[in-house]
Structure 1
Amino acid sequence: MQFDSCSGRRQWTSDGAKRLVGQQVERPVTVEEKDRAVEHPTRVGVQVEVRHLVRMSAHQG
């Protein structure tokens, strides 16, 4: 059973279960979890922008 820092009690939470198996959590607490939470949307945003720029250059040329 994981410790829930919000309630101060030992109880199962969805984030506790995700931490146990190494999945991304809903409410990141550690620096590593926060980095992982920011990394995915940033990577997706960059991919979308690159596709947009490629389409723009194909239409201009």
Structure 2
Amino acid sequence: MPSSVIKYFSYDTATETLKIIFTTDMVYLYKKVPEKVYKLLKASGSKGRYFNAHIKDKFKFRKLEEE
């Protein structure tokens, strides 16, 4: 999963929570993200572009402490 913006991401189907760790090591949890959005992010050729267009500013989020 090479991305210049996103280091790692995972999805919890039970809570519909998308966890994204950015290359800056900042960690965000995005709430109520449909599984389809996660799957499209996973399949996207540009994770950062997909994130900016379909996730950023579209879902509530919580910033966690850096990992």
Common fold by TM > 0.5 = no
Structure with greater strand share of residues: 2
Structure with greater helix share of residues: 1
With the shorter chain as reference, the TM-score category is under 0.3
Higher relative contact order (CA 8 A, sep 6+): 2
Computing the radius of gyration from Cα coordinates, the structure with the larger value is: 1
Give TM-score, length-normalised by structure 1: 0.25
